[in-house]
A and B are shown apart, each in its own frame.
Chain A
């Protein structure tokens, strides 16, 4: 079974641009969560999608948004990029989002650099 796939792996953008990151969960997994990792703040929760609906949201500005498609693939978008958005963005999937005890499987991440 293929793991969680994130594309692209690396991305360089300039301030003010927007970016879209993609995450394909493990087949059969319906919950996809997104996280941001920076040296200063560590890992922080962005949002979780389950069955095409955003179910939980972290404390990030509205420039950060996401969506989930009917095949459970998810995208996150960051508009009007700032230097501080430079980070590793990780997505994780789990098989049944309704059960909080499920293990999450992480993708390798997308490393975004904003210049």
Chain B
């Protein structure tokens, strides 16, 4: 079973549309990170959310951390072709000290068509 479930798995939309992708878990995380990965490249960090209920905005991207710190959403307004990529969420948790583990969901593959 996957610790972090991302939905939808695939999303294909037209330029200018809005979309929301979700990252859900039954576990509580210390923080949750969102990454974007393009083909042949490593994931690149977009944002980290730490506090339950926290909302962060990055231009047209809005990230929200659930009140219970178990889930998160990413909303993109007026999508552009440059937003195309694999969006990954990653949860950090551990028993303290130096053994925190960063676990990734399988991602949402977003295609924005011109």
Q: Do these two chains really belong together in a complex?
A: no
